[in-house]
Chain A
């Protein structure tokens, strides 16, 4: 186990609703990244938070938003849900030092939240 937990495990919503997914990082990690994985595809980067600030964003619309808290836990919020938002949502935590200006740490993934939008 990686020490990264996510809740809930499964979630069913209808189009137009809003959802909040939660992630608890591995102890001591200061960075969290969120990914969306559609069935049969590799994960797609949504965004990353480093010390409570957004530190990069993928090609996702603004209705995908996030937060990182002082204890480094994190939330992913999705507004106005669409059918295509149905996917496995993964969070990953890491300890980034950024001394060399590069990310060098392994990312540790949680078990994911399976979101189904009807």
Chain B
């Protein structure tokens, strides 16, 4: 059974810092991994999707890496800003299904 874990659960950093969010999964047989952002009480916004054949994806100040063999993904945020404050979730589809299994999320606070 696929399980997804995110560490840390919460993180507070001063503005301008570079930071790394971690995601681990127990079954390496994944087809892709997706990172989402969720603002309080809102829906999810897709940030990056990494296919199993890729090792990383970049979008602006965000860079996500994927290491299937070790069951890990990281989301790197460069030069953090107060607007980056949100909960970040990673998710994987088990096998070839379309359903997503989510981690619990990391709640990020960037202080001005």
Interface, chain A (partner B; CB < 8 A): 2, 4, 6, 31, 33, 35, 40-45, 48, 50, 55-56, 58, 88, 90, 92, 94, 96, 101-104, 106-112, 114
Q: Which residues from chain B contact A33 at a C-beta distance below 8 Å? A: 98-100
Segment among B64-72, B73-81, B102-110 that sits at the interface with chain A: B102-110
CB atoms of B43 and A31 under 8 A apart: no
- Chain A residue at smallest Cβ distance from B36: A109
Give complex CA distance A114, B82 in Å: 26
Q: How far is the CA of A112 from the CA of B40 in the complex (A)?
A: 12
Given contacts A90-B44, A104-B51, A106-B46, contact A56 B99 (CB under 8 A): yes
Shortest 4 CB-CB distances between A and B: which pairs?
A42-B102, A109-B44, A103-B98, A45-B99
Contact, CB under 8 Å: B100 / A45: yes
Interface magnitude class on chain B: 20 to 34
A contact residues around B93 at 8 Å (CB):
102-103
B49 interface contact, C-beta 8 A: yes
A111 contacts across to B, CB distance below 8 A: 42-43
CB distance from B90 to the nearest CB of A (A): 9
Q: Cα distance A35–B101 when bound, in Å? A: 10
Interface string of B29-42 (1 = CB under 8 A from A): 00110101000011
Closest A residue by C-beta to B49? A106
Q: How far is the CB of A48 from chain B (nearest CB, A)?
A: 5
The answer to whether B41 and A114 touch across the interface, beta carbons within 8 angstroms, is yes
Give Cα A35 to B42, complex, Å: 13
Residue contacts A-B, CB under 8 angstroms, 28 given: A2-B45, A6-B43, A31-B98, A33-B99, A35-B100, A42-B4, A42-B89, A42-B103, A42-B104, A45-B101, A48-B98, A48-B99, A94-B98, A101-B96, A103-B31, A103-B32, A103-B98, A104-B31, A106-B34, A107-B46, A109-B36, A109-B43, A109-B46, A110-B43, A111-B42, A112-B41, A112-B43, A114-B41
